[in-house]
Amino acid sequence: MYREKVHIPIEKPCIILKGSGSNTTIIAYNDSANNVGTSDSATFISSPPNVVVSGISFKNTYGSNGPAVAANFYGDKSAIFECSFFGYQDTLLISSGRSYFKNCFIQGEVDFICGEGQSYFENCVINAVQEKSKSIGFVTAQLREKPNDPNGFVFKGGSIIGIGQVNLGRPWGPYSRVIFWETYFSSVITPEGWNLWHVRGDQKESTYIPWHSLFRSMF
């Protein structure tokens, strides 16, 4: 296990970062938004385009007392294969760009797949880990500010498992877009599914449009 923060700077594109498997190659740290802000709390930050990552686990071990990111992707055309991401709140942050995740494992409870990216998740396992003292969480918090923005999250196949209960997501912006397609939903998903994030004071419920959600639930 490597206990450090790793940052691929924007001037270093076309990087291939290959581990020996997510059970073997582990990068962990315990920073949080309380110390450096949400984006910079990430154990791993990838800024440039054309980055390929495979066979690595990224962990933020800070705990459940606020945002603490395991990995943050900025660069366009990022491809991530057979990696694992562990955290509780804001585990996987896709700040911008197009990204592709395949056969990955993503663990958290509150907004733990979040950001403004245009991202496709294929056959990924999403593990919700609600603490008994905490309220129901959210798998996604996607940010899309304008109706013509091309970004959004698409989940093809895979599964959502875990303990306790979790919502599929809540919108970070007025036009947030998340699609679940042929994804297995265990009983961890609430019957309501989605939440409009009523606690946000900067926007009213009437500004939201329905999330585009196509999914097959198999309880």
Residue 149 among the catalytic residues? no
Looking at residue 196, its pLDDT comes to: 82
- Catalytic choice (31, 40, 111, 202): 111
Residue 127: helix, strand or coil by DSSP? strand
Work out whether the CA dihedral 81, 55, 90, 182 comes out positive or negative: positive
DSSP string spanning 136-193? PEEEEEE---STT---EEEEES-EEEEES-EEEE--SSTT--EEEES-EE-TTB-SS-
CA 176 to chain centre: 14
Residue 202 among the catalytic residues? no
Domains, the chain, with CATH or none: 2-199 (2.160.20.10)
Give the count of beta carbons closer than 10 Å to the beta carbon of residue 63.
13
Contacts with 114 (C-beta within 8 Å, 6 or more apart), sequence order: 90, 92, 93, 94, 140, 141, 142, 143, 172
Q: From first to last of the 219 residues of the chain, give the pLDDT tens digit.
A: 999 999 999 999 999 999 999 999 999 999 999 999 999 999 999 999 999 999 999 999 999 999 999 999 999 999 999 999 999 999 999 999 999 999 999 999 999 999 999 999 999 999 999 987 888 999 999 999 999 999 999 999 999 999 989 999 999 988 999 999 999 999 999 998 898 875 455 554 444 444 443 333 322
- Catalytic choice (31, 40, 76, 90): 90
